[in-house]
Structure 1
Amino acid sequence: MLNRVMVTLDNEAEVEHLARYGKMIIENYPNVEIVGVYIQPGIEEYSYGAGVDYDIKGGKIDHELKIKKAMETEEKIKEKFLSLFENYKFYSKTGDMSEVFLNELKLFDLAIISKTDKINHNLKEILKKHHKPIILVPDLDKFSLDKILIADDQGLEVNKSVFDFINAFEKVKEFKAITVNISQESVKDLTFYLEKIEKKIEYIFEEGPVDEIILDCAKEFDMLVLGNLKHSFLVEKLIGEAGVKIIEKIKKPVFIA
């Protein structure tokens, strides 16, 4: 059951589409609490030397300007976030992005993160270490939970993601699962279990390049459910396996548990 969702913010440009995604969740699950958490790295260093004269000309002024700019940026993000949806909550944290994120995630059921076309260091660390589900959200005009696609490689990781998704978004009743280069006879599908909880799943079987096929199929869906990359992320990044390619190239939200 979904109770609290963390909208993770680290710059002004991503506020609007992440808040819009939060609104979509609220529309489907009115009792969920949405909280914006602004994480700015390095702010703690600004308190160093407060009120101290510097030997280097202009050093203190530069330091104070840096503090002022950081505070102004935080205020802009807070005002923009809360102006979009007045019922949301907001607070800020400082420090290493991935470390703060993982610590704050302890207080939430899942986190929403802005998805870009390239996985940076912070997201890499989050994908390796996250202990709750996350949704990577691209900048889109509209969001929905109507059509959900599961990238089913028959692994334990995707099985966990599916069950975590079901627990979080219990109103979703129908799914499609795509398996690539796996024979229909060998698939252990979820039909039997899902029927017991009044949900339906339909399987799509394809052959060919895994990432290309899943990316093409995902265009028709509102979200892709993907297995986590915790144990194999660095290897996948080096050899260019499908999971990382999909995350970087997909233009739809991705759920990873």
Structure 2
Amino acid sequence: MNIAVLGGTGLIGSQVVKIINAAGYEAVPYSLSNGVNVITGEGLDGALKGADVVVNLTNSPTFDDASPAFFQTSMDNMLAAAQREGVGHAVILSIVGVDQVPDLVYYRAKVLQEKILEAGPVPYSIVRATQFFEFMDSVLSWTSDENTVRLPKTPVQPLASADISKAVAEVAMGKPLNGIRNVGGPEKLTLDELGRIALAAKGDKRTVVVDDTAGMFAAVKGDVLTAPADAMLAGTTFREWLASRR
């Protein structure tokens, strides 16, 4: 089985490539660095030539109003190339609860990406994951100063990128789901709880203040970002992951 991984040099993509190759299949990473551009279409036909599966892990460079156009163009180009080259399975990574946060333009853009794939000519699979542990540093930086970090009490169920990568690789090596597989972490926490754990692990003395208007996740209502009942749950907790990085 030959698997083309678009965005294959990023955080998730590089791990997906390693997992697939270790399983005895051939995964090849593609990105701008080796001449594949999902926006212009340059290099896509060559990347997908002879591929049985394409995994698209490319992402919009911004979370703003430009993100829908990125996913529209990149998906149109990928699916057209996949159809020309006879690729039999297309996989994307999305977000748990993505269709339940209409106030976030980036989430609407990811819903658009899913809908384009579902309506396309290639059998498909969508892996929806909860937030990455690795994303927490960015979340802390959005609404912080030298003394405090402001975070909403948004419930989340995060997991390590290694566990997300394993889920994506397993789906890519299997038959098309023509549906969604949800993946989540082992424990539900609120963002302010995660913030306190992360700061304590680094010896950061700043105070976490609950502010339900702070940051991107202030737009999230209820527990829609936690794993649904049918989700596969990873085993590594946030504290265990933080300890492994020391």
Give the TM-score range, shorter chain: 0.3 to 0.5
Larger radius of gyration: 1
TM-score normalised per structure 2: 0.32
TM-score normalised per structure 1: 0.31
